[in-house]
Structure 1
Amino acid sequence: MKKLVLSFLALLLFVVSTTYAPAPATAATKYDFKNVNWGMTVNQVKKKEKSKLLDQSKIKDISLLEYKTTGFRVNAKLVYIFYNNKLVRAVYEIYPNDYKKTTMDKYYKYFSIKRDLLDEYDGSINFKDGLTPSGKRVLYDSEDVEKDLVAGAIALESNWVIDKKKTSISLMLARVTDAVRLRVIYTDYNLKYDLDELIDAQKY
């Protein structure tokens, strides 16, 4: 189990490592994500989240709650990430372990979710569709997009900051280790530390 959690942390770090600073949006809600707020404890989130709990784990200062749920009208896995027992991030993985879904299914769903987020928030976003692994933006041929995504030659990414700069959202489609994964990542925008460096440090 520890190896699986470490693998998840490594994959999560890889996915968010190319995230650019998002542009601001203007939505304001009572909660920072779903019906929870940044800084809540593991027990507080467990009382709020009604989806089926799949797993709960902890390595050093990082704790994870994993749920089976739906997100953006499809099956998803929802992972809450805590640092020092304070909620700092939530991640939807779309079509988790659904081997019937192809890379192109995820590609089209990426743009569907992007439209949903544009409708819900602000038209001002920082999008980097067509990133290389080093974070450089490139033009890509739509006819070769499946091959390039599978090979890890490109990734798709869009970013927002919402709720009066309380929450950042990263929509990402990228190859992570063994598969092309579609994720929507919500993070506390006002953290005073680099969360990804902390996640990486938990592996050692």
Structure 2
Amino acid sequence: MKKKLPTWRLFIRITALGIVTGIAITGLSLKEIGTNRWNQNGDWLYQLSVGDESSSIFQKAVIAAGGLFALSRSESMYFIARPQQMSTHDMKGSCHYRISGESPDTRWWSITVYGHDRMLIPNPEKRYSFSDRTVSFNPDGTFTIDISPTETGENWIPTSGDRRINVLLRVYNPAPSLVQGAGNVALPRVEEVSCS
């Protein structure tokens, strides 16, 4: 005669199976949603659903997992640098990147560099970003920001190591032309200067 499992053991096994299944489904859902909803404008990726109240629960989960406290599109927009002309898919802290162009049509903007852990990269300069209030503009009104492990000039954001970095462009109170035409407006150019 077969021995019957005690009720509490059966309960634990079923609960464990449910938890593992739930985690797996959630992980796959977040991965799928996180990779399929990106749009590209030049060297920048963006999601129109960021901060949108009508976003699905899964889209909101992806945004929350990224650590972003997203406002509505009329209040702010977020762009992640993904240079089209790059030696690798991910930007690395050991490489030198240059961001240049005109200020986006917005009340305020900033460009910030984050480490692989989505945290600011510690550095002796205590410099993590530039904004339209802190960057030194070129005589023609454009700006140039260098991101690299070695000092490159006045508008330099230090990085370190060979791990992945993320560069985020935030625009606050964007003009209607930017809100409605995020895929077509001119955004700063991101180029890989060198990579060791």
**The structure with more strand, counted as a fraction of residues:** 1
State TM-score, norm by structure 2: 0.31
Structure of larger gyration radius: 2
**The structure with more helix, counted as a fraction of residues:** 1
